[in-house]
Amino acid sequence: MSHNQFEQKSQAWSALFSEPMSDLVKRYTASVGFDQRLWQADIQGSLAHAEMLAAQGIVSATDYAAIQKGLAQITQEIESGVFEWKLDLEDVHLNIEARLTVLAGDAGKRLHTGRSRNDQVATDVRLWLRGEIDLITGLLVDLQKALLGLAEKNVEVILPGFTHLQVAQPVSFGHHMLAYVEMFARDAERMQDARQRVNRLPLGAAALAGTSYPLDRERVAVSLGMVNAQGAPQLCQNSLDAVSDRDFAIEFTAAAALGMVHISRLSEELILWMSQSFGFIDIADRFCTGSSIMPQKKNPDVPELARGKTGRVVGHLMGLITLMKGQPLAYNKDNQEDKEPLFDTVDTLKDTLRIFADMASGITVKPDAMEQAALKGYATATDLADYLVKKGLPFRDAHETVAHAVKTAMAKGVDLSSLPLAELQKFNPAITQDVYQVLTLRGSLEARQTLGGTAPAQVRQQIARHNKRLQT
């Protein structure tokens, strides 16, 4: 059959089929509308496969050269936007192969020797995702650096730390930011951990059972950079598993969903803090919008949207994990549905990380409002209890004593540190003038010197550790 004939029969699979697909079925089954974004990975995978076929003497050097030349031209055509994607050719793989056959004739038709779209698509998705994971890891580093910068500037700024969203104990704003640095550091770790299982080669599994051609799978793995830290090729070791499981994509999406959850928690805080009731921060205008009816409004749209988009990514995780459930071995067309959620997860996470790294530098901290809020909430009550313990009281008794003191202060509408010494001594005669040092916000902060605690000296140590870790 000439290559022209190959093109003409594009919608029928073989002589076996006696009627063409309906237009609706064609649209329903085609993925080229979205999977064309895998084109670079597809060509990369094809080049590695063809090189190995030639090295193994399965195709001739001349055919390999023709395949290389054809794929180079296709690359150029896609990059310049002249490549014609055809719905009739279903997906990215068939589109590229058909064009290669037009350009390279029989050599193009030999490219698919010992390969199936089943191992081809699994390879493409893995190659593409590996690159995205590396970009995302870099963006997570950028975000950590931005938050670290914010922490560094605000080590001495005190805000009320909350539990149950009730004022609990004073904390350093720098310390608060470092909590998020820890979260995003773990997200980056998770990305790199998932990468190890993404970066394994399915090619050679063919349709499901392996192939009768003498393929050198290790050679392909090495040329695609699917190697471990020691440089050893990483291969999927079971052909049925290689073409069918998408756990690597699910695992990545789970890591992405967690990253978004962390973003969402931060967003929630930024939104609360920017509200008039808190007034702890301001977010630069370029990240906010106004209201079309209320002239006084400035809304924190970016964190709100990020909080909303978290639901979308968590939804993709649910979609992907449910997609896998109930699939018998080996490849099923269900798996074509892995792409849109995976692509959207990557796009959403990348955009969100970028915008947050940028926004961190546009946050204005309002130390006075934060301190006032901490003062209002009896945030140093624990410090008074600790003070009494140091004077010899058992902690439970000290706790009870302080509860009475707080009740009195509340009734008077003042802070604990505003109660005169004589008043405080009514609760326990061991209280002396030095109590006022522990009742201040700063005294409370300074006292928390445990590793990972909020004392400014500890916060500075953590900042130094992170700076060293993130140095490039």
Shortest distance in whole angstroms from residue 247 CB to ligand ARG: 15
- Long-range contacts (CB closer than 8 Å, 24 or more residues apart) made by 288-297: none
Identify which of residues 35 and 97 has a Cβ nearer to ligand ARG in the complex.
35
Which of 44, 95, 101, 118 lies at the binding interface for ligand ARG (CB under 6 A)? 118
CB 400 within 8 A of CB 378: no
Contact track, ligand ARG, 15-44, x by CB under 6 A: ----------------x---x---------
Q: Is the Cβ–Cβ distance between 20 and 12 less than 8 Å?
A: yes
Please say which residue, 336 or 382, places its beta carbon nearer to ligand ARG: 336
Size of the site for ligand ARG (CB under 6 A): 10
Q: Least distance from C-beta 45 to ligand ARG, angstroms?
A: 13
Shortest Cβ distance from residue 118 to ligand ARG (Å)?
5
CB 83 within 8 A of CB 99: yes
Q: Is 119 in the site for ligand ARG (CB under 6 A)?
A: no
Binding of ligand ARG at residue 333 (CB under 6 A)? Answer: yes
Q: Which is nearer to ligand ARG, 115 or 117 (CB)?
A: 117
Phi, psi of 303 (to 5 degrees): -65, -35
**Among 172, 223, 239, 335, which residue interacts with ligand ARG (rule: CB under 6 A)?**
335
Kindly state whether residue 336 participates in binding ligand ARG, applying the rule CB under 6 A: yes
Binding segment toward ligand ARG, per CB under 6 A, in 272-280, 329-337, 353-361, 424-432: 329-337
Q: Is 291 a catalytic residue?
A: yes
Binding segment for ligand ARG among 116-124, 230-238, 296-304, 353-361 (CB under 6 A)? Answer: 116-124
Q: Are strands 166-172 and 158-163 parallel, antiparallel or unpaired?
A: antiparallel
Q: Which is nearer to ligand ARG, 110 or 117 (CB)?
A: 117
What is the Cα–Cα distance from 280 to 147, expressed in whole angstroms?
Answer: 16
Q: Say how far apart CA 215 and CA 113 lie, in whole Å.
A: 10
In degrees and rounded to multiples of 5, residue 377 shows phi and psi of: -105, 15
89 or 183: CB nearest ligand ARG: 89
Q: Is 46 in the site for ligand ARG (CB under 6 A)?
A: no
Told to check if 121 binds ligand ARG by CB under 6 A, we report: yes
Indicate which residue of 164, 212, 277, 292 is catalytic: 164
Pick the closer one to ligand ARG by CB: 13 or 420. 13
Residues 372-401 binding ligand ARG (CB under 6 A) are none
| 348 forms part of the interface with ligand ARG (CB under 6 A) | no
Question: Phi and psi of 224, rounded to 5°?
Answer: -95, 5
CB of 121 to ligand ARG, least distance (A): 4
In the complex, minimum distance from the CB of residue 331 to ligand ARG, in angstroms, rounded to a whole number:
6
Query: Is 176 known to be catalytic?
Result: no
The 83-102 contact track toward ligand ARG, x by CB under 6 A, reads: --------x-----------
Q: At which residue do the structure tokens 């639901």 appear?
A: 311
Distances (CA, A) of 304 to 180, 273, 310, 450: 17, 13, 10, 35
Q: Contact region for ligand ARG (CB under 6 A) — 12-20, 154-162, 222-230, 328-336?
A: 328-336
327 Cβ contact partners less than 8 Å away, ≥ 6 residues apart: 244, 334, 335
Residues making contact with ligand ARG (CB under 6 A):
31, 35, 91, 117-118, 121, 331, 333, 335-336
- Give me the active site residues, please: 164, 291
